[in-house]
Amino acid sequence: MTSPRTRFYLDKQNKKWAGVCAGIADYTGIDTTLVRLGFVASLFVIGPMAFAVYFIAAWMAPTKPAGLYEHNPVDQRFWQGVRANPTRTARDVRSRFRELDRRLADVEAYVTSSNHRLAREIEELR
């Protein structure tokens, strides 16, 4: 079963006709205007077949749930990245955890090391 955030949905909130272009834009992270211009360009290339594909997508795709991203643009960009390239996203998350682990190790080494200068300054204050 796929996560509800990695599925394609019709975006009825930003729709012009049925929400297919807005759904594609939400799914891929591409600007809605560019997706709509791409659809118009496809009308010139493949003609009425573009309308058929559009209406089949509108008929088959479910409507986007209301609180899918809960108005959090960071969450939305993350899930768009997961849909675009799940492997890269997992690699980025692992990289961030490694960086965090490295930084925590640096802090731990600094705190637990014997800092002779600090010890001398404390002794001078006594």
- The predicted model scores a pTM of 0.56
Cα 64 to Cα 87: distance, rounded to the nearest angstrom: 24
Per residue in 56-73, pLDDT (tens digit) is 998 998 887 776 666 677
Per residue in 68-111, pLDDT (tens digit) is 666 677 777 777 776 667 677 778 888 889 999 999 988 887 77
CA 69 to chain centre: 10
Cα 39 to Cα 27: distance, rounded to the nearest angstrom: 15
**Residue 10, beta-bridge partner list:** 63
CA distance to 89, 90, 96, 113, 126, per residue, from 99 (Å)? 15, 14, 5, 21, 39
Q: pLDDT-based confidence at 6, cuts 50/70/90?
A: low
